Structure 1
Amino acid sequence: MRKLAAYILPVALLVAACTKQPQVSQTSTPPVAKTPFDPNTAFGQGKIVELRQPESNKIIVKLMFKNGSMVDPKGKEGLTYTTAQLLTEGGTQDMTISQIKDKLFPMAAAYGANVDKEVTTLTFAVHQDFLKEFYPVLQSVILRPAFAEEDFKRVISNQQNYVDQVVRASSDEEYSKKALEDLLFRGTNYQHKPEGTSAGVKNITLEDVRNHYRNYFTRNNVMVGIAGNYTPEFLNQLRNDVAQLSDVQPSIPAAGKPNQPDGVQVEIIQKSNALGSAIFTGMPLPITRSSDEFAALMVANSFLGEHRKSYGKLYDKLRTTRSMNYGDYSYIEWYDQGGSFQLPNPGVPRTSNYFALWIRPVQIAESLKQQYPELQDITVGHAHFALRLAVREIDNLIRNGMTPEEFELTRKFLRSYMKLYIQTPEKQLGFLMDSRFYGRQNYIEEMDRLLANMTVQQVNDAVKKYWQVENMFVTIVTDDSEAEPLRQALLNNTPSPMSYSNLVKEGLPKEVLAEDEAVANYKLNVKDVKIVDSRDTFQ
């Protein structure tokens, strides 16, 4: 059983998270869903989520549009992202973007956009003392965008640079995650990144943006959220202004479903001068937050390892015991901007879901040989061993389940930890709006109630029902020197003994070395391994 000390959280944060929740009301109230829910019913005229906070001095307005990158036209992948960026990074018919920034600076006000697969969210935040001065800017942004040529050239240039260069060079960890989605959803409208593809961004024109704004940012596919100490008069004004958006009824396609892997299918992305092997695995998961069973998987997921937390099984086995990398985590839904945020962000609700493991970069053979003379004969670094160890931990959990003690400790932590998701008004409002997408009233509160009445048997049954290790996708971003040896080792299920320096190995207990031997010979159901050049990804 893990040590209770590993669960201790900063007291100030926990106290803040557990204080009395503000009054929540709404104009439109969809029923709590017990079965799969159609998110389209949460959007449209009059769909408003209110979070009244009489003691707050800040006003938050969110406009969530049911569109996302999945509505991008074929051959113009990235158009929704371009449109959202021009709305929030371009000028309006009343002011240039420079004038807007100059006006907002003394107010410490801000706004921005986030585009995901199925929704685009515009968020506006201002101190209530400046609301009267700020609101005309909000009006202009959503109703009177300039869509100026100079703004378009700047935005599209930055977007092209991101899809061509930044995504491949800035973080191999994020690269592997986006590459997995490309593989998992290949051939569907979920495949490409919200920022688009290299060829798709090149094809986007300013006229495309104007048409996309008119057809997909409309009053018929928007959910409005508002938080703070606002007046009824302000809410009415906001409602009336949103009603002035285009009256087009957008044609929203069904979300692409994940492909079903046949065995363990691996894509190794090779690039020059990679410092390690970044691994991301995934398999389709047929349930989302709309299902009550999701709460049981939350416990199992937390047991394996929450994002960037040091108590999980995976972190303990790979990082703490063997010092292989910076961390190893488990996910039962997309985790947005994981490299930047330690707590999950709202605004990325999805109907197509998958279970995934993130193995942060482990060392390649070349770097190990440079550091340790005793490792001169190895041909593959730690990636094969790390993947086997992580998959074996899932296998063990499926076979053996959690013990009552492990369950109680994990559940206790999770019920406290979830409250930290909503420390700010912006996060509280965001999670409430996400709740509507899934047909729920309040996801945080409802999951807490489910957790309170849960049993260890329910968790173990859900794990057996939804998780397996025979069929999964794996993406590995690694150095070109490692790609082919790793491919051969995976295809042939070659034993992969852990490569320790002599000094480290001498200090390890016998039970760790015995487990190493079992891991090194653990059979993965590898059916296919392809090598892809980094330059050929996201085209």
Structure 2
Amino acid sequence: MRLKYPIFAILLILLGFSEISAFTPPEKLTYPPLRFQPPRAEKIVLPNGIVVFVLENHELPIVNLFAMIKGGSFFDPIGKEGLAELTTMVLRIGGTSSRTGEQIDASMERWGMTFEISTKQEEISISFSSLSHHFAQGMEIIADLLQNPAFPQDKIAIALSQKKERLRRLTDDPEQYAFLKFNQVIYRSDPRGRIPTFKSLENITRNDLVMFHRLYFRPTNIFFAITGAVTKEDVINLFQRDFNAWKGSQTKELIPPPPLPPTGIFSLSHKTPQSVIITGRPAPPKKSPDYYPFVVLDFILGSGGFRSRIFQEIRTNQGLAYSAGSFYRARVEHGLFGTYAMTKAGSTGTVLQYFIDLPKNVKNHPITEEEILWAKNSLINRFIHNFDTPEQIVRQELALAFDNLPYEFLSQYPQKIRAVTLNEVNRIVKKYLSSTEVAILVLGNEEDYDRPLTSFGKVENLKAND
């Protein structure tokens, strides 16, 4: 067969060889930094102080509402720990002055709605979802619940019973129980360290719920985010219809905890074949310039999963732990860095010694450029996936407003992480890990430990939750 276009074929071959000879190895390829710019939600501030973020998304006939209220368990009065959670539990099931809880549940079920409310240390969170053509009815119910909860005595009794049952089952999950007691150790007299007990729950009355609601469910204390098949104008009209009469001034702000946690070893006896070890030390807050280098350091040490140092040594190399890693809790005004492991009782001393020696190990085996690059790339890639959906986007902006942080804290995150250097991380190691101010909690059956805790220093025995 004759080649129809011989000259053209020769040219193609020559071009191909030319491209191969000019091929650049992958490791030498360079790319300009990606400019990540997620969509922005529109911010609305109503005359009574309510802040609302709106992001339209008409792909599906669904509307999602999220809200954050400054009023978590931090504000529980002394001796009435559990009040914030009990208030939200009864608010959800107790109905309002104009409709019962059963009527609200029936309406939401009929219209295909979901509504959840939960309480954390420093916030109360709300999540609501509805078909777009029923969103107006749903908003009316949500507004009624937030402004006019009935708090009937029979529903208070139900919520109290449920909360007490949770307390009875608290020790069923050793890891969860250990972290709860760890908070108590770290924060001590600070409200963040107080834990509900059967006695504190018994001290709570209906009037306490009414007063808590009156103090913290206020328009200047709540932030909303809405996304879905709804327009900004529709949202403004609905909020003016349902929340215009809601009045109230600003409540007191959160107070940072003491600057340093107590030091020492705290033992919590628990009859279990495993032990839980948790350590904690001061770390930079979100507003600190040390925040971004510390995020990178934490990722390298323990929060980066399988490749992190703690996981590699304790789990992979020594096979000592079921789970192991680190955590970095950064708040606006304070921060905490910790390590944790769940191991068999007979390895408790070995794992604890590793955690105690961690600063020395990092000094003897310094962080490398390779680890820095891996952590930065992983953190940036993970961060971008926080904006995969409109719901994620508005919740990010909601959290910023709640913490009174500028949008740049979010938008500049990739650039700030990318700019972290090895020198900065080494400086952070010296500044925060060289301190001996560390609290250690060990939960388990000390009779089975490979070393007595007293061999590590003075031990304080903790009491189980009443």
Q: Give the TM bin, normalised by the shorter chain.
A: 0.7 to 0.9
Q: Distance in 1 between matches of 2:53 and 2:197?
A: 34
Cα 1:398–1:87 shift into 2, 3 Å: farther
SS at match of 1:122: strand
Give the 5 Å matches for 1:53-92.
53-55=57-59, 57-92=61-96
Aligned to 1:10: none
Aligned to 2:431: 465
Aligned to 1:116: 120
Give the 5 Å matches for 1:96-245.
96-163=100-167, 165-169=168-172, 171-193=173-195, 196-240=196-240, 241-245=242-246
Aligned to 1:455: 421
SS at match of 1:190: helix
Q: Distance in 1 between matches of 2:60 and 2:285?
A: 32
Please point out which of 376, 381, 388 is paired with 1:411.
Answer: 376
**Contact 2:178/2:443 (<8 A) preserved:** yes
Deviation at 1:383, TM superposition (A): 0.9
Percentage of pairs with the same residue: 19
Deviation at 1:231, TM superposition (A): 1.8
Aligned to 1:504: none
Q: Distance in 1 between matches of 2:234 and 2:433?
A: 48
User: Is the aligned partner of 1:295 residue 2:292?
Assistant: yes
Aligned to 2:3: none
Deviation at 1:259, TM superposition (A): 4.1
Q: What do the CA deviations read for 1:41-85 (whole angstroms, capped 9, x no partner)? A: xxx814333334354543222232222212111111111111122
**Contact 1:398/1:460 (<8 A) preserved:** no
- Work out the number of aligned pairs and report it: 428
Aligned to 1:492: 455
Q: Please identify, of 293-302 and 45-54, the stretch whose mean Cα deviation from structure 2 is larger.
A: 45-54
Cα 1:225–1:403 shift into 2, 3 Å: same
Please point out which of 312, 315, 334 is paired with 1:316.
Answer: 312
Deviation at 1:400, TM superposition (A): 4.7
Aligned to 1:9: none
**Contact 2:274/2:344 (<8 A) preserved:** yes
Q: TM-score, normalised by structure 1?
A: 0.73
Q: Distance in 2 between matches of 1:426 and 1:397?
A: 39
Q: Distance in 1 between matches of 2:37 and 2:257?
A: 40
Please point out which of 39, 53, 66 is paired with 1:22.
Answer: 39
Cα 1:242–1:398 shift into 2, 3 Å: farther
SS at match of 2:436: coil
Q: Please identify, of 53-62 and 221-230, the stretch whose mean Cα deviation from structure 2 is larger.
A: 53-62
Deviation at 1:156, TM superposition (A): 1.5
Deviation at 1:390, TM superposition (A): 3.0
**Pairwise CA RMSD:** 2.6
Cα 1:161–1:144 shift into 2, 3 Å: same
Cα 1:283–1:223 shift into 2, 3 Å: same
**Contact 1:117/1:350 (<8 A) preserved:** no
SS at match of 1:420: helix
Q: Please identify, of 59-68 and 149-158, the stretch whose mean Cα deviation from structure 2 is larger.
A: 59-68
Deviation at 1:252, TM superposition (A): 4.0
Aligned to 2:274: 276
Aligned to 1:250: 251
Q: Distance in 2 between matches of 1:491 and 1:439?
A: 44
Deviation at 1:253, TM superposition (A): 5.3
Structure 2: gaps (5+ residues): 1-34
Aligned to 2:17: none
Please point out which of 343, 347, 367 is paired with 1:362.
Answer: 343
Aligned to 2:10: none
**One-letter amino acid of the structure 1 residue matched with residue 137 of structure 2:** E
Q: What do the CA deviations read for 1:439-492 (whole angstroms, capped 9, x no partner)? A: 121544322120122222222222322233522111111026347x75xx3322
**One-letter amino acid of the structure 1 residue matched with residue 418 of structure 2:** A
Aligned to 2:4: none
Aligned to 1:325: 321
Cα 1:463–1:229 shift into 2, 3 Å: farther
**Contact 1:45/1:243 (<8 A) preserved:** no
**Contact 2:40/2:55 (<8 A) preserved:** yes
**One-letter amino acid of the structure 1 residue matched with residue 169 of structure 2:** V
Cα 1:24–1:248 shift into 2, 3 Å: closer
